[in-house]
């Protein structure tokens, strides 16, 4: 018996090789099945409700407890993930950015993923971005291209420096209005598909999420607009949180077990105090660690990435095995 939970984070889970964008950074469906078999062999699956009860009622969890979390409401989760989990009697927790599901619009972060996946030579994208920055420099009082590149191009555990430059520039650095203009122009030029059509092929529908919820899957908050919550005013964070709670209620979720997973893993002290006011029980970050319910703040639980764990049943456990 233990207080530890290995929370695993997933994003795209798809038939990568046969998909139109095989370069998207995602998990192939066979690797997903292999990882589930690996986890079934070495871990004990728990539900979100069991994890929450364990924290608040001090009940113990099985040894090597594992909880599966899926961010961003991709249609992959309904088509690929849900059938596997349903067959094996495993619960997944799904965190849907409400706007993507309800408005048939694409999150800018996803536009950027597909731009990166469609154009193999990253320098070509950077060249196009520089042209757009030149175009808007005076109007938006922008710094030089070199200023942005030097400031933002810093590799991390997931991406090379050039990719980080593009993501940071278009997700945080420029003002919101301009970020959207530049991302849309790139998407139009490189992908060339109407956003509402692309969005319907990318995200789950409301009915699909309702169906999963009805069949025992957990639905949590991932904000409305998928903002970096820590970059918003308290008032705007409140709106994000309230709208996401309305959505959870609308799909049939139980607000006594409200959970959130922070877009980009980003939040601040205002976020945490608002979540307490709204009676959220747990929050999941992108800090890379096995969660320990006897030590961690329940609103700041760390998660492993799918790539931190083996993807086939016969592979030995690694350093993350507790």
Interface with Zn ion (CB under 5 A): 71-72, 263
Compare residues 71 and 108 and give the one whose CB is closer to Zn ion.
71
Task: Specify the long-range contacts of residues 113-116, CB closer than 8 Å, at least 24 apart.
Answer: 113/24, 113/25, 114/21, 114/24, 114/187, 114/191, 114/198, 115/166, 115/183, 115/186, 115/187, 115/190, 115/191, 116/23, 116/163, 116/166
Shortest distance (Å) from residue 226 CB to Zn ion = 6
Closer CB to Zn ion, 130 or 228, in the complex? 228
Q: H or E stretch including 34? A: helix 29-42
Q: φ, ψ for residue 92 (rounded to 5)?
A: -110, 155
User: Closer to Zn ion at the Cβ: 82 or 203?
Assistant: 203
Query: What's the start-to-end Cα distance of the chain, in Å?
Result: 12
The DSSP symbol for 230 reads: G
Q: In the numeric block, which tokens belong to residue 212?
A: 């999963």
Whether 253 contacts 94, CB under 8 Å: no
Identity of the residue, 72 or 296, whose beta carbon is nearer to Zn ion in the bound complex:
72
Instruction: Select 71 or 296, whichever has its Cβ closest to Zn ion.
Output: 71
- Please choose, from the candidates 31, 36, 35, the residue with its C-alpha nearest in 3D space to the C-alpha of residue 16: 31
Whole-number Cα distances in Å, 104 to 35, 194, 213, 289, 305: 31, 11, 21, 34, 28
Min dist CB 285 to Zn ion, Å, is 12
C-beta of 72: minimal distance to Zn ion in Å?
Answer: 4
At its nearest, how many Å lie between Zn ion and the CB of residue 114?
15
Give me the least distance between CB of 125 and Zn ion, in Å please.
21
CB of 135 to Zn ion, least distance (A): 29
71 vs 225 by CB, closer to Zn ion:
71
């Amino acid at each position: 018996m233990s207080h530890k939970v290995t929370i695993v984070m997933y994003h795209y889970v798809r038939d990568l090789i046969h998909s139109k964008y095989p370069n998207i950074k995602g998990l192939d469906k066979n690797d997903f099945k292999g990882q589930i078999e690996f986890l079934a062999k070495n871990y004990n699956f728990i539900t979100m409700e069991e994890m929450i009860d364990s924290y608040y009622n001090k009940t113990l969890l099985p040894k090597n407890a594992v909880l599966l979390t899926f961010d961003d409401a991709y249609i992959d989760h309904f088509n690929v993930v849900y059938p596997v989990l349903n067959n094996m009697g495993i619960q997944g927790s799904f965190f849907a950015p409400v706007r993507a599901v309800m408005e048939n619009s694409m999150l800018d972060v996803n536009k950027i993923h597909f731009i990166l996946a469609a154009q193999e030579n990253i320098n070509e994208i950077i060249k196009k971005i520089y042209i757009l920055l030149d175009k808007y420099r005076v109007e938006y009082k922008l710094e030089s291209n070199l200023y942005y590149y030097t400031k933002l191009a810093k590799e991390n555990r997931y991406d090379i420096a050039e990719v980080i430059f593009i993501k940071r520039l278009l997700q945080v650095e420029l003002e919101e209005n301009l970020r959207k203009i530049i991302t849309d122009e790139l998407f139009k030029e490189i992908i060339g598909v109407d956003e509402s059509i692309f969005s319907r092929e990318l995200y789950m529908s409301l009915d699909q999420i309702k169906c999963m919820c009805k069949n025992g899957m957990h639905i949590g908050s991932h904000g409305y607009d998928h903002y970096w919550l820590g970059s918003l005013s308290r008032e705007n964070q409140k709106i994000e949180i309230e709208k996401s709670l309305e959505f959870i209620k609308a799909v049939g979720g139980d607000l006594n077990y409200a959970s959130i997973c922070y877009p980009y893993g980003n939040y601040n002290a205002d976020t945490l105090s608002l979540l307490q006011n709204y009676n959220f029980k747990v929050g999941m970050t992108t800090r890379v660690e096995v969660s320990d319910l006897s030590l961690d703040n329940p609103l700041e639980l760390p998660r492993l990435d799918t790539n931190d764990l083996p993807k086939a049943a016969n592979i030995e456990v690694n350093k993350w095995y507790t």
